[in-house]
Amino acid sequence: MNIVETSINGLFVIEPKVFGDERGFFLETYNEECYRDAGITENFVQDNLSFSRKNILRGLHFQKPMEQGKLVQVLQGEVYDVAVDIRCGSPSFGCWEAVCLSEANKKQFYVPPGFAHGFVVLSDTALFSYKCTDFYNPKGEMSIAWDDPDLAIPWPVNMPQLSGKDKMGIQLKNLTKDQLPTYV
């Protein structure tokens, strides 16, 4: 697999080797040794699946405590996936990266602990897979506003459908140091 470092330290796009022929394809979706050699050393403790329809936007989510790193990929459909560095003291605080993930390109995106994460569905439906480095903590979950003007993320949809929780997202500048993860 090809592991590509982004402009934000610790954030990676993973391009697996795909072996295909007229019968279909085979690819390795996780190999601890390969990821460890690339610097992704966290242990994954929980796997999640999410199914969503076109224009559904989920995020930008994070939790504190129990910050989760996520290795994400799309099993069916296509999404625009975004990670925002929200670690206090990080040289890239408030910076973000986006990548299109799809069943066609089979890319993965590694989002380390301390980042907010979200995606919007571009295809009719999408089946989205997460490997997480910590367990879900509903008491510590928060959302940053998907349309935070200071982040200026160019989402490829104008009027996404949001959950009630995501409609209540907070601008990053309005979060206190206590609410944000710390850069280590």
- The H or E element spanning position 164 is helix 164-167
10-35 average pLDDT score: 92
Contacts with 140 (C-beta within 8 Å, 6 or more apart), sequence order: 63, 64, 65, 66
- The H or E element spanning position 118 is strand 115-121
Q: Which residue has the higher pLDDT, 124 or 27?
A: 124
| 132/44 Cα distance (integer angstroms) | 5
**What digits encode the pLDDT tens for the residues 146-172?**
999 999 999 999 899 999 999 999 999
Are the CB atoms for 139 and 49 separated by under 8 Å?
Answer: no
> Which pLDDT belongs to residue 8?
96
Q: How many residues does the chain have?
A: 184
Is 6 part of a structural domain of the chain? no
Quick check: helix, strand or coil at residue 9? coil
| 59/169 Cα distance (integer angstroms) | 8
Is 16 part of a structural domain of the chain? no
Question: Among this protein's residues, is 136 annotated catalytic?
Answer: no
Is 65 part of a structural domain of the chain? yes
> Which pLDDT belongs to residue 146?
98
> Which pLDDT belongs to residue 142?
96
Domain range for 109 is: 43-176
Task: Give me the phi and psi of 172, to 5 degrees please.
Answer: -55, -40
Question: Among this protein's residues, is 130 annotated catalytic?
Answer: yes
Q: What is the pTM of this model?
A: 0.94
Give the active site residue among 30, 110, 117, 130: 130
> Which pLDDT belongs to residue 119?
98
Is 24 part of a structural domain of the chain? no
The enclosing domain of 170 has a CATH number of 2.60.120.10
**What digits encode the pLDDT tens for the residues 77-115?**
999 999 999 999 999 999 999 999 999 999 999 999 999
Contacts with 38 (C-beta within 8 Å, 6 or more apart), sequence order: 3, 12
> Which pLDDT belongs to residue 78?
98
**1 has a pLDDT exceeding 90:** no
Give the active site residue among 35, 61, 80, 110: 61
**Total structural domains in the chain?**
1
